[in-house]
Amino acid sequence: MNIRNKKTGNIVRDVRCAQSFFSKVTGLMLSTQRPLLMIFSKPEKISLHTWLVFFSLRIYYLDATGVVIENTLMHPFSFYRPKEFATYVLEVPASYDFRADCGDYLLLSTNNSR
């Protein structure tokens, strides 16, 4: 899956989707630097930790329409409790050249779409 910021045109490619409970719980722990999109069936307050993630992450909380409602930068071995309810959580390694601000609309597409 690819995700594009409609406002800036920035794209993050090869995003892995996490829909199962186990894939959301493990997230990017002990993994390589690859973006991850967690998908929830209803809006929730999703607290995150980076206890076994050895690189910094940019975290984007999205509503059901794909609008960024909250974002933060997390460093290894930290914890974050969001203020907003979200349907999607996008975790992007900070080393990636991708940025989004609150209010930006992120378009989700399959890898073969342009």
pLDDT tens digits for range 11-42: 999 898 887 665 666 565 556 778 999 999 99
DSSP E strands in the chain: the ranges are: 2-5, 11-12, 16-18, 36-44, 48-49, 57-62, 68-74, 79-80, 86-93, 106-109
The tokens of 47 are what? 């607290």
Give the span between the Cα atoms of 15 and 33, in whole angstroms. Answer: 11
Using 50, 70 and 90 to split pLDDT, how confident is the model at 79?
A: very high
Give φ, ψ of 56 to 5 degrees.
-75, 150
In this predicted model, what pLDDT tens digit does every residue of 102-112 receive, in sequence order? 999 999 887 65
Spans of all domains in the chain: 2-109
What fold is seen in the domain 2-109? Jelly Rolls (2.60.120)
